[in-house]
């Protein structure tokens, strides 16, 4: 792998940058692999990388029906945090957040991890109770999260409106200082480049159309738009299309796919120093390095596979943003887009073996998968390599929905009384 | 005004001089000018700095596609500033204040331009390759500096004082774009009787009809036609004309979003007039007459101020009478550039030469060349551009000539003060594509044109690759008639004709030929984001193959113009460099908005008090008069506590609690959700929905009901009364009212269509006054008629009808405090009067109004749960001690099957318990965690959490409710609540702290 550094950049500058190599090869499929990862988003690319880097597999293919990093990896609002309520979730997301810290160096690719702080706002007595429960649980789990009064929140995020005369005044907030943002495309490309350097074949424009199983039911390989590819180990990481791919192996997933929208403003000079989220009035916002305000809207009410959503969803979100940041009312939306999120009944992911020998699945990340990319990929690779889950992802089975062992993070947002 | 202002200019009014300022200097223009045309008229060509290299930039275009000339307009103060406006779209008014952006200390001398010198270090994607050492440095050192350098203008400096409006509209035909095609379509459709909306992003309607050269009579055929057409349009009652209105988004089922700019062009907007208005238009048929955008040419040094699109120069001349230069070189990538050169020539502008950059002989129309030569304009054929010079404005261009074998030879340098270019025109297919309509590559024109539509929509004229005004008129007319017919109307014949000289707008996208593989000067593809041909080639060298990857890696097309001028050139260059055809490279997705749209119109009226409706109970004013402090619960304002003089919240709540336990308190319970479930299927409906059995509930009795989700977890609760055989009065939690009704309707309409049952929300029909305490009966008895209040006649959980102070009443004998209690339901309009009557009657018993906080304390003393506080969506009825409520003999209810799942029955579930701190004065934090052993360090083994914690006046100590793993079996044990200051020991108790036998309920 051609090393990236300030020095290599300088050296190439003298050669008009003519000496740079492809970051990953445009591979064509071989007849058979030791392991196949289906889905070239961040989680899938990372899985292929860790299979090669940590588990010694070399003969690995990653199949992507379109271009890598083009699904939710390239469509999210890049927020990182780990202040989840339940012990299982806190362990999972904190495993990931710790990996973000060193990811640029590990991959030799600047993923721009920026721990600028994630501030979650409370607007009612009930919100305060919920966020304080998070803070207590996080502290006991070794996850940083602290309570800020409205004045402290304002000091941390100066454009925030803490006036008492707004409809839902800010009653305080929970701040995770290690939370922040990262550059989403760089994560996909960084993993692709590092995986490719370890021999992983990254095969774009290769859609899985069927899954072949032997007489005993075990995985034999996958049918694709580029022909049949054999492998006894197949890991499916297909986000919104996970149900479709797993259906080819006869596995039904408890997922619903919804369009989720986001938007950016025109770029302006730095004005938002951190990430601000408000669950109860539905707004989250940060500012990208380029200067755009990056704003997440909600999911549409109806399931769909179309990567666009309804206008009123954005309107609702921007109304909330303008209440919290009234100076942004004259800012302008530059671009809006949608992605398809795979939502599980308890809003927690599935990272698991399946009843089909050799078939593994990593899905159900809903609206919050980006932050988990390194941890999810790391644990899924472990699960595929060992044919058993790592202790951190052991609770995230498919069977939990049948057994009732839910990890219900939606519960965190409970109900008003 | 300078010599830059010539004759003509159909949009300006020379009698109205308008003074404005740019970067602190005063200028004057005419009414009708844009900021761009007025600055050009003053000889100002330097308007901005580029995003990355801070290169000096002037106007590239004259319309909304402008990538360079972005300015901040400040109206009065910083709160009314708007960054990143295109100078080409800013209409000047007296006193307009505009600033350039992204430069320091000044536009002419910008320190940031050092980036240009260092640009070899900053190719596409350089930031992915460096800034990684040491590992903390990205966030602490590099990122803050990169952020400070990035961004364009500054965000507004304060809360926006202006208002924004929103409206909905329905029409038969929506026509987007009021150029030749759009106006013809609107006239044809409206003339056939269709209700038509015609919108255009510009203040002046007419599109390229405004760009025709005036004839000897001082007008053009096009202008004459336009004048007549606009008069006709204005006279049509069934046509709504929306200038300054951009159709920015195309949504499913022919819904389009329109942004109307109402006051930004006015010097002194009238008070109260909204700044902008959002139109959400649902149209039966849509005609897209969005025109085409001229493509720049890609050659070294193509970004100097003074290098401009040819059509822009023509627009500045004909619409504003502004000359973009006095020595002009025209680079012709299509015939239309000749038309521009001839127009400018006729307008008295010196044309140094036309350099025709086309190398395929079949592309060149001999007639155009002949026309130019007839005017003695020098034409250089098979030309290319080797470079340009001029720091803040172009002053020369070096031409080359391309031989048949592709080699390039130097053809000398021409002095010039404006360099005009035309690479051909790209149809504006944005809206068609947003609607999920398909696109088709038209190889001979080098453009994508609309193919199959996904909606009832059609593109006309230049927007679908047709050339010339006459074709646009005919196409628009046909589309208008077709749309009217599709709406079920009889098309009314209409035809239009204009005679003008037309030149082809077909060119070939891509970069101009260069002598070597690499040249030192930058050839820009995306002006604003500083993306050059070399950046695109670097991305391909680094293995980025998909157009989506190349776009993201180089940021081409991602600036505020969203690739309007750069998109097709980038595609062609990528195709050429990777031996692919343009369609193989593909297109990136067109996304809304077409041009940026302010947050304000999307937020609209939802601001301040109207951000969310405020729900107030009928007794709200009574509580206000009593000095209540309110809390937000959902949309409701609820009285939280009633402080008397000098009391803090704790003291007020203690007093309120004391009153209820010893005398009498009154409480506004009107916010509880109320749903009437009525019909022959009502009992069965309730049986299927709630865990309880309802068969045995007698009329006139009520029961505490529990509702689960299908996953078996508690969703809502409330008292349900049977008012008649087939009529239930169901109460829900305050926050759950809408959700529960939604769930009921979902089941009624989709699962249990066999049941005859009707659901009605009655939450706001009833005012509810809870009167609670040992003296409650004595307080209300004198007011009530027609209803026996005795314990025998009206026992706990009984319901009766009667009157109170003459008002009809539904009286519940229920208690959420553990005391003798009544809930008086009266029609909402009587609420305030009855409240005051009860309060007056209670004076001799020292009745005290109490708020939600006291209510919480009182119910916690009794171990009554609050759904959403004790429960969190993971609790079964048994977890919170409610398994007694489940109708054991019922065949089914929502959630029943889930309750039999293994994990629901296993040990180790969290259960509701009480906790008492060892020190009675210590109040636990709600949400604090529970451990079995002391002294743990993170990550701890957590076995529970505190759900409610209060100071109990009745017990004279703190109490808490908690959910603890196997909690019921731990009663008497000591557990620990780990706090930052150390563990707090707590004793596990039953969750009922006060009157565990419930004797007081039955008083």
Is there a single domain that holds both residue B281 and residue B184? yes
A15 in a domain, yes or no?
A: no
Task: Test A180 with B904 for CB contact under 8 angstroms.
Answer: no
Which are the contacts of B870, defined by CB distance < 8 A and separation ≥ 6? B880, B912, B947, B948, B961, B963
Task: Test B156 with A136 for CB contact under 8 angstroms.
Answer: no
**Cβ count within 10 A of residue B724:** 11
A8 in a domain, yes or no?
A: no
Q: Cis omega before residue B105 (within 30°)?
A: yes
Q: What is the CA radius of gyration of chain A?
A: 22
Please calculate the CA angle B132-B138-B143 and round it to the nearest 5 degrees: 135
Is there a single domain that holds both residue A170 and residue A272? yes
CA dist B2 and B14 (Å) reads: 14
Task: Test B84 with A330 for CB contact under 8 angstroms.
Answer: no
B152 in a domain, yes or no?
A: no
Mean pLDDT, chain A, integer: 95
Is there a single domain that holds both residue A238 and residue A162? no
Which are the contacts of B304, defined by CB distance < 8 A and separation ≥ 6? B56, B58, B388, B389, B390, B393, B394, B419
Is there a single domain that holds both residue B31 and residue B66? yes
A124 CB within 8 Å of a chain B CB: yes
Residue after which a domain boundary falls, among A343, A369, A404: A343
| Domain limits for position B80 | 13-127
Q: Shortest CB distance from B157 goes to which of A102, A314, A327?
A: A327
CA dist B957 and B993 (Å) reads: 11
- The CATH number linked to B533 is 1.10.10.1100
B188 in a domain, yes or no?
A: yes
- The CATH number linked to B45 is 3.10.20.440
Separation of first and last alpha carbons in chain B: 94
Task: Test B139 with A113 for CB contact under 8 angstroms.
Answer: yes
A9 in a domain, yes or no?
A: no
Is there a single domain that holds both residue B348 and residue B456? no
Closest CA relative to residue A299, chosen from A312, A288, A290? A312
Is there a single domain that holds both residue A104 and residue A191? yes
B73 in a domain, yes or no?
A: yes
Task: Test A268 with B155 for CB contact under 8 angstroms.
Answer: yes
Is there a single domain that holds both residue B302 and residue B412? yes
The burial of A409, by beta-carbon neighbours within 10 Å (0-12 exposed, 13-18 middle, 19 or more buried), is given as: buried
B632 CB within 8 Å of a chain A CB: yes
Q: Which of B143, B247, B545, B873 to mutate to test the interface with A (most CBs of A within 10 A)?
A: B873
Is there a single domain that holds both residue B314 and residue B386? yes
- The CATH number linked to A359 is 3.50.50.60
DSSP A24-46: S------SB-SEEEE--SHHHHH
CA dist B18 and B68 (Å) reads: 24
A21 in a domain, yes or no?
A: no
B126 CB within 8 Å of a chain A CB: yes
Which are the contacts of A193, defined by CB distance < 8 A and separation ≥ 6? A1, A23, A24, A107, A109
Cβ atoms of residues B730 and B718 within 8 Å: yes
Task: Test B251 with A311 for CB contact under 8 angstroms.
Answer: yes
Is there a single domain that holds both residue A168 and residue A222? no
pLDDT at A409: 83
Is there a single domain that holds both residue A369 and residue A270? no
B748 in a domain, yes or no?
A: no
Strand A118-122 vs strand A256-265: parallel, antiparallel, or unpaired? unpaired
Is there a single domain that holds both residue B340 and residue B286? no
Closest CA relative to residue A287, chosen from B597, B144, B598, B84? B144
Residue after which a domain boundary falls, among B404, B423, B442: B423
Which are the contacts of B801, defined by CB distance < 8 A and separation ≥ 6? B786, B787, B808, B809, B810, B811
Size of interface A-B (CB pairs under 8 A): 356
Dihedral of the alpha carbons of B550, B554, B557, B559, in degrees to the nearest 10: 150
B31 in a domain, yes or no?
A: yes
Is there a single domain that holds both residue A339 and residue A351? no
CA dist B156 and A330 (Å) reads: 7
Residue after which a domain boundary falls, among A298, A324, A343: A343
Q: Which of B118, B133, B155 to mutate to test the interface with A (most CBs of A within 10 A)?
A: B155
The burial of A82, by beta-carbon neighbours within 10 Å (0-12 exposed, 13-18 middle, 19 or more buried), is given as: buried
Task: Test B927 with A114 for CB contact under 8 angstroms.
Answer: no
Find the residue in B nearest to A114 (Cα).
Answer: B139
Is there a single domain that holds both residue A266 and residue A315? yes
CA dist A282 and A296 (Å) reads: 9
Is there a single domain that holds both residue A167 and residue A220? no
pLDDT at B174: 98
Q: Shortest CB distance from A9 goes to which of B121, B546, B940?
A: B121
A17 in a domain, yes or no?
A: no
Is there a single domain that holds both residue B549 and residue B478? no
CA atoms within 13 A on the CB side of A47: 35
A325 in a domain, yes or no?
A: yes
Would you give the DSSP letter of residue B787? S
Task: Test B607 with A74 for CB contact under 8 angstroms.
Answer: no
- Backbone dihedral region of A364: left (phi > 0), alpha (psi from -120 to 50 degrees) or beta? left
A13 in a domain, yes or no?
A: no
- The CATH number linked to A287 is 3.30.9.10
Number of structural domains (chain B) is: 5
A295 in a domain, yes or no?
A: yes
Residue after which a domain boundary falls, among B592, B616, B642: B592
CA–CA distances in Å: residue B7 to residues B14, B129, B326: 10, 55, 14
Residues of chain B with pLDDT under 70: 1-2, 218, 361-363, 517-520
Q: Shortest CB distance from B602 goes to which of A69, A109, A333?
A: A333
B972-995: pLDDT as tens digits: 999 999 999 999 999 999 999 999
In degrees and rounded to multiples of 5, residue B850 shows phi and psi of -125, 155
- Of the pLDDT bands very low, low, confident and very high (cuts 50, 70, 90), residue A415 is very low
Task: Test A22 with B542 for CB contact under 8 angstroms.
Answer: yes
Contact residues on chain A for B978, CB-CB shorter than 8 A: 140
CA–CA distances in Å: residue A330 to residues A282, B73, B158, B200: 20, 11, 10, 21
Is there a single domain that holds both residue A172 and residue A264? yes
Is there a single domain that holds both residue B224 and residue B324? no
B403 in a domain, yes or no?
A: yes
Strand A227-230 vs strand A219-224: parallel, antiparallel, or unpaired? antiparallel
Residue after which a domain boundary falls, among A343, A360, A379: A343
CA–CA distances in Å: residue B482 to residues A49, B254, B489: 57, 16, 9
Q: What is the CA radius of gyration of chain B?
A: 38
B5 in a domain, yes or no?
A: no
Q: Shortest CB distance from A327 goes to which of B155, B596, B945?
A: B155
Per-residue pLDDT for A416 more than 50?
no
Placement of tokens 């001690």 in the chain: B881
Is there a single domain that holds both residue B285 and residue B340? no
Q: Shortest CB distance from B591 goes to which of A311, A335, A417?
A: A335
Is there a single domain that holds both residue A174 and residue A188? no
A89-100: pLDDT as tens digits: 999 999 999 999
A122 CB within 8 Å of a chain B CB: no
Is there a single domain that holds both residue A194 and residue A339? no
Is there a single domain that holds both residue A209 and residue A70? yes
**Cβ count within 10 A of residue B253:** 9
Count helices and strands in chain A by DSSP H and E runs: 10, 19
B465-500: pLDDT as tens digits: 999 999 999 999 999 999 999 999 999 988 888 888
Contact residues on chain A for B942, CB-CB shorter than 8 A: 87, 137, 140-141
DSSP-derived 3-state class of residue B338: helix
B239-279: pLDDT as tens digits: 999 999 999 999 999 999 999 999 999 999 999 999 999 99
Is there a single domain that holds both residue B23 and residue B168? no
| Domain limits for position A158 | 118-178+257-343
CA–CA distances in Å: residue B790 to residues B776, B778, B801, B835: 12, 11, 14, 22
- Of the pLDDT bands very low, low, confident and very high (cuts 50, 70, 90), residue A414 is very low
pLDDT at B1003: 73
Number of structural domains (chain A) is: 2
Find the residue in A nearest to B546 (Cα).
Answer: A67
B215 in a domain, yes or no?
A: yes
């Amino acid at each position: 792998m051609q090393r990236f550094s300030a020095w290599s950049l300088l050296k190439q500058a003298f050669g008009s940058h003519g000496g740079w190599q492809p970051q990953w090869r445009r591979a064509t499929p071989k007849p058979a692999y030791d392991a196949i990862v289906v889905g070239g988003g961040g989680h899938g690319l990372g899985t292929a990388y860790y299979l090669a880097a940590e588990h010694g597999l070399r003969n690995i293919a990653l199949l992507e029906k379109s271009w890598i990093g083009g699904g939710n990896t390239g469509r999210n609002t890049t927020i990182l945090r780990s202040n989840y309520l339940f012990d299982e979730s806190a362990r999972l997301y904190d495993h990931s957040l710790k990996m973000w810290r060193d990811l640029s160096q590990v991959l030799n690719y600047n993923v721009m991890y920026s721990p600028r702080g994630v501030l979650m706002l409370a607007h009612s007595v009930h919100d305060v109770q919920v966020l304080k429960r998070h803070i207590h649980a996080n502290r006991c789990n070794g996850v940083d999260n602290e309570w800020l009064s409205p004045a402290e929140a304002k000091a941390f995020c100066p454009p925030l409106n803490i006036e008492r005369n707004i409809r839902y005044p800010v009653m305080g907030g929970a701040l995770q200082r290690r939370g922040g943002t990262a550059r989403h495309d760089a994560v996909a490309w960084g993993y692709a480049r590092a995986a490719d350097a370890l021999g992983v074949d990254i095969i774009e424009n290769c859609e899985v159309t069927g899954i072949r199983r032997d007489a005993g039911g075990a995985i034999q390989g996958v049918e694709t738009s580029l022909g049949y590819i054999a492998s006894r180990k197949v890991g499916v990481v297909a986000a919104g299309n996970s149900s479709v791919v797993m259906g080819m192996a006869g596995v039904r997933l408890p997922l619903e796919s919804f369009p989720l929208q986001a938007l950016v403003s025109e770029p302006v000079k730095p004005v938002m120093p951190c990430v601000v989220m408000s669950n109860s009035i539905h707004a989250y916002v940060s500012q990208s390095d380029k200067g755009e305000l990056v704003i997440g809207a909600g999911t549409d009410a109806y399931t769909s596979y179309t990567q666009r959503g309804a206008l009123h969803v954005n309107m609702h979100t921007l109304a909330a943003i303008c209440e919290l940041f009234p100076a942004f009312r004259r800012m302008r939306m530059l671009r809006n887009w949608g992605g398809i999120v795979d939502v599980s009944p308890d809003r927690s992911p599935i990272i698991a073996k399946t009843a089909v020998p050799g078939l593994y699945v990593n899905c159900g990340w809903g609206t919050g998968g980006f932050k988990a990319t390194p941890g999810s990929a790391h644990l899924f690779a472990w699960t595929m390599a060992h044919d058993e889950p790592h202790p951190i992802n052991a609770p995230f089975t498919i069977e939990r929905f049948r057994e009732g062992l839910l990890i219900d993070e939606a519960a965190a947002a409970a109900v008003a009384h | 005004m300078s010599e830059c202002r010539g004759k003509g200019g159909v949009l300006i009014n020379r009698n109205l001089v308008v003074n404005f300022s740019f970067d602190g200097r005063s200028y004057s223009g005419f009414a009708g000018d844009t900021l761009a045309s007025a600055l050009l008229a003053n000889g100002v060509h330097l308007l901005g700095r580029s995003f990355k290299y801070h290169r000096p930039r002037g106007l590239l275009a004259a319309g909304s596609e402008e990538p360079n000339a972005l300015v901040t307009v400040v109206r009065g103060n910083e709160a009314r500033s708007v960054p990143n406006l295109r100078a080409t779209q800013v209409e000047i008014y007296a006193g307009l204040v505009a600033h350039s952006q992204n430069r320091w200390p000044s536009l002419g001398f910008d320190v940031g331009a050092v980036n240009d010198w260092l640009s070899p270090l900053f190719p596409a994607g350089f930031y992915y390759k460096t800034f990684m050492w040491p590992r903390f440095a990205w966030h602490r050192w590099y990122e803050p500096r990169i952020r400070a350098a990035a961004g364009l203008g500054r965000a507004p400096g304060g809360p926006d004082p202006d208002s924004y409006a929103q409206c909905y509209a329905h029409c038969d035909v929506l026509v987007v774009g009021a150029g030749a095609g759009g106006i013809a379509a609107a006239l044809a459709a409206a003339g056939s009787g269709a209700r038509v909306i015609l919108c255009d992003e510009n203040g002046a309607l007419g599109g390229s009809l405004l760009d025709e050269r005036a004839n000897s009579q001082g007008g053009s055929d096009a202008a004459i036609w336009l004048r007549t057409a606009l008069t006709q349009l204005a006279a049509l009652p069934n046509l709504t004309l929306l200038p300054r209105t951009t159709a920015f988004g195309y949504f499913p089922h022919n819904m389009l979003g329109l942004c109307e700019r109402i006051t930004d062009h006015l010097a002194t907007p009238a008070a109260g007039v909204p700044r902008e208005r959002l139109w959400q238009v649902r149209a039966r048929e849509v005609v897209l007459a969005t025109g085409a955008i001229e493509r720049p040419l890609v050659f070294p040094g193509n970004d100097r101020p003074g290098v401009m699109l040819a059509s822009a120069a023509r627009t500045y001349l004909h619409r504003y009478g502004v000359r973009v230069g006095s020595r002009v070189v025209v680079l012709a990538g299509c015939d239309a550039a000749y038309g521009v050169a001839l127009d400018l020539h006729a307008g008295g502008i010196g044309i140094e030469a036309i350099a025709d950059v086309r190398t395929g002989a079949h592309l060149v129309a001999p007639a155009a060349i002949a026309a130019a030569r007839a005017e003695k304009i020098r034409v250089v054929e098979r030309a290319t551009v080797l470079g340009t010079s001029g720091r803040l404005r172009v002053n020369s261009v070096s031409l080359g000539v391309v031989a048949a074998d592709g080699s390039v030879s130097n053809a000398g340098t021409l002095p010039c003060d404006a360099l005009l270019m035309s690479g051909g025109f790209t149809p504006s297919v944005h809206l068609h594509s947003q609607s999920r309509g398909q696109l088709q590559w038209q190889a001979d024109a080098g453009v994508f044109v609309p193919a199959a539509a996904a909606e009832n929509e059609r593109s006309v004229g230049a927007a679908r690759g047709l050339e010339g005004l006459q074709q646009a008129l005919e196409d628009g007319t046909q589309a208008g008639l077709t749309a009217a017919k599709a709406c079920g109307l009889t098309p009314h014949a209409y035809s239009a004709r204009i005679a003008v000289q037309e030149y082809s707008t077909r060119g070939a996208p891509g970069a101009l030929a260069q002598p070597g593989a690499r040249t030192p000067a930058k050839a820009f593809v995306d002006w604003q984001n500083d993306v050059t041909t070399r950046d695109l080639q670097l991305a391909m060298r680094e293995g980025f193959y998909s157009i989506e990857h190349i776009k993201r890696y180089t940021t081409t097309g991602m600036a505020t113009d969203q690739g309007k001028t750069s998109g097709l050139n980038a595609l062609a260059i990528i195709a050429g460099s990777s031996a692919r055809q343009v369609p193989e490279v593909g297109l990136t997705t067109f996304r809304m908005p077409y041009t940026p749209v302010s947050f304000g119109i999307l937020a609209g009226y939802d601001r301040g008090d109207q951000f969310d409706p405020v729900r107030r109970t009928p007794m709200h004013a009574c509580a206000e008069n009593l000095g209540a402090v309110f809390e937000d619960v959902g949309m409701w304002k609820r009285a939280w506590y009633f402080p008397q003089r000098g009391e803090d919240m704790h003291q007020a709540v203690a007093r309120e609690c004391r009153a209820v336990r010893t005398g009498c308190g009154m409480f506004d319970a009107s916010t509880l959700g109320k749903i009437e479930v009525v019909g022959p299927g009502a009992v069965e409906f309730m049986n299927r929905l709630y865990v309880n059995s309802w068969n045995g509930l007698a009329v006139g009795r009520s029961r505490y009901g529990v509702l689960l989700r299908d996953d078996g977890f508690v969703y809502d609760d409330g008292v349900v009364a049977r008012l008649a055989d087939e009529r239930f009065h169901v109460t829900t939690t305050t926050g759950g009212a809408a959700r529960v009704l939604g769930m009921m309707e979902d089941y009624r309409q989709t699962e249990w269509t066999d049941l005859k049952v009707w659901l009605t929300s009655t939450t706001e029909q009833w005012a509810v006054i809870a009167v609670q305490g040992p003296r409650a009966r004595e307080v209300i008895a004198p007011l009530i008629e027609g209803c026996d209040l005795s314990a025998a006649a009206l026992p706990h959980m009984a319901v009766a009808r009667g009157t109170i102070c003459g008002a009809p009443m539904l009286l519940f004998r229920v208690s959420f405090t553990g005391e003798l209690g009544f809930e008086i339901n009266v029609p909402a309009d009587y609420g305030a009067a009855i409240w005051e009557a009860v309060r007056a009657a209670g004076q001799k018993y020292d009745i005290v109004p109490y708020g939600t906080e006291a209510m919480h304390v009182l119910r916690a003393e009794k171990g009554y749960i609050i759904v959403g506080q004790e429960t969190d969506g993971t609790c079964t009825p048994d977890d919170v001690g409610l398994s007694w409520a489940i109708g054991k003999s019922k065949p089914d209810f929502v959630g029943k099957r889930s309750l039999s799942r293994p994990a629901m029955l296993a040990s180790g579930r969290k259960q509701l318990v009480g906790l008492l701190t060892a020190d009675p004065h210590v109040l636990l934090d709600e949400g604090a965690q529970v451990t079995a052993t002391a002294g743990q360090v993170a990550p701890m083994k957590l076995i529970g959490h505190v759900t409610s914690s209060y100071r109990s006046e009745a017990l004279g100590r703190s109490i808490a409710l908690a959910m603890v793993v196997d909690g019921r079996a731990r009663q008497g044990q000591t557990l620990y609540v780990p706090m930052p200051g150390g563990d707090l020991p707590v004793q596990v108790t039953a969750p009922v702290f006060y009157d565990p036998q419930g004797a007081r309920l039955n008083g």
